[in-house]
Amino acid sequence: MTERVNCVFCDIVAGKAKAYKIYEDALSMCILDIHPYTKGHCLVISKRHVPWWHELTDEENASLFKVAKIVSNKMMKTFKPDFIFLYARGRRIPHTHLFLIPTYHGDVLDRFFNALENFQEAPQMLAKLKTPEEMEEAMQLLKS
């Protein structure tokens, strides 16, 4: 595993920093976030220091999302949220991590994404992105 100097997640993986470990396998680890949005908010981190999830090996990616699924199922059983919000990060702390957040109707994330979806559906600038021509162009660009 590649360790990065001054990386809190590398320190956690190496056992040099305290963490509330929930689950781990050979390539990934799930810990409680120390600044939670809701009770049970977790981070799934790669054990190897890689800033972006799409730069992980296929095996590391499979591990990351397998651990996320295992812990999400535990969250659903334990906290009974409406859903588990998942998103990938690596910008502020440049080490791949997935946020797993139990989310409930009307909470801050539910309100945020409802507002974002309303924004996404409303403005003309964004409406242009979903014309058949724009969709076809985006598809072709991503396929090539």
Catalytic residue positions, numbered? 97
**CB burial string 66-103: b at 16+ within 10 A, e below:** ebbebbbebbeeeeebeebbeebbbeeeebbbbbbbbb
Q: Give the separation between CA 24 and CA 119, rounded to whole angstroms.
A: 38
